[in-house]
Amino acid sequence: MQTSTNQSLRPLTTKINDKGNLEIGGCDTVELAEKYGTPLYVIDEFTLRSVCRDYNKAFSSYDKVKLLYASKALCSMATSSVISSEGFGFDAVSGGEIYTVYKSGVPMEKVLFNGNNKSADELLLALDLGVGRISVDNFFELALLDELAKSKNKKVDILLRITPGIECHTHEYIQTGHLDSKFGFDLTQTDEAIELILNTYSALNLKGLHAHIGSQIFETKVYDDEIEILVKEIARINDKFGLNLDEINIGGGLGVKYTENDMPPSVYEIAEIIINRLKSAVQKYNISEPILYLEPGRSIISTSGVTLYTFGSSKQVPHGKKYVAVDGGMADNARPSMYQAEYSAVIANKPEDECLQNVTIAGRFCESGDILIKSVDLPEITDGDILCVFNTGAYNYSMASNYNRVEKSAMVLVNNSQSDIIINRETLDDLVSHDIIPDRLRANV
């Protein structure tokens, strides 16, 4: 089976240059750190485009496929522009994501708005900008969206998000009749929702069903089960209500390679499984081939991203660990402290030196749990060395915070030996720009 970009631990352009430094996108990472400062998010455009092309090629045999990038993994105007230019639409989960892709020039009919508690203002923005689909999550939203659409004299195309009873946990999954989840309609609730759409909510036009089964998926059989459930439900609904629903959205969730031990499936492998199962299921349940939506996020952006840090202090615990600290941590990468995510790293200015020690990479934030990497073998570290952490494109910047009142990091796009700032580093003035001291407090100073 053909390999794909999501199976690479490092950006595809990674190499050691003549100076002995790590190079990505034709740019010396040590020079990037010197020019733009650290922590620094780096996105390799070649790798990003490569994985988009993997998806396009892998699913090319099914002519009714629509690929949507799950913006929550990383949403910026520049990355949205690159992904859009490769033919992708977008799955957005907030007004901010909708507005970002809109400002980047994405055709709004290629945007789907998803989420379990969309506000009225966010739904109005989606209606005003003309997003192509809204995935409705619950009964409250059905009523609210109908009311808002009528106030705009619009009819809106929707999908119903359902809970299919499949829960995925990386290497294993469980299937139950009623999965406990905050998202979507239970399968026992879909008929009530459809009756409301047909008989009460005249501004809503139901096009199909939407489901999502997890994230960082390595076990491929879950896609078989999900498609079987969705196609069977579409057939049942069409027969019972005399409808012709012809769209299914199976979500995303394909895993990536964070460490050498990770073995995610290739895009080509899951494409073959999904397309074959879909074609067999439509024959089994006697429906026409539906439009197929997919929402990859992590597997699109993660491998293209690295984060550069500068080493500072260190501490050797007597008869214990050696901690070495960098100038970032849980505020620029919350994943290790939130759910013990693991990463791989090298010292960018000596990537080929012999690894002589096992260390723990600590962050600079005032939390004992601010640990970026619990255990990594590295060469001897000196103050000022540059650490490069791989596969940080997804859910690093998008989950970043100003914890400890620290400025958010900059992001650069590299390609063909050129680097461009795509997100500016925050300044101290940015940090206080939304703060207000009431006049009654100023008067007492």
Give catalytic residue positions.
366
φ, ψ for residue 283, nearest 5 deg: -70, -40
Write out the H or E segment, with its range, that includes residue 271.
Answer: helix 267-284
Among 70, 159, 79, 156, which residue's Cα sits nearest to residue 422? 79
Read off the DSSP letter of residue 282.
Answer: H
CA separation for the pair 337, 343 (Å, rounded): 12
Q: Please give the structure tokens belonging to residue 13.
A: 């352009």
Distance CA 98, CA 129 (A): 9
Distance CA 421, CA 175 (A): 45
SS3 259: coil
Q: Say if CB 305 and CB 392 are below 8 A apart.
A: yes
Is residue 174 within 8 A of residue 259, CB to CB? The reply is: no
DSSP 313: E
Distance CA 69, CA 81 (A): 12
* Strand stretches in 224-344, DSSP E: 247-249, 291-294, 305-316, 322-326
DSSP 131-180: -SEEEE-SHHHHHHHHHHHHHTT--EEEEEEEE-SEEEETTEEEE-SS--
Which stretch of DSSP H or E encloses residue 67?
strand 65-70
In this structure, the number of other CB atoms found within 10 A of the CB of residue 191 comes to 14
Q: In angstroms, rounded to a whole number, what is the distance separating the alpha carbons of residues 147 and 137?
A: 16
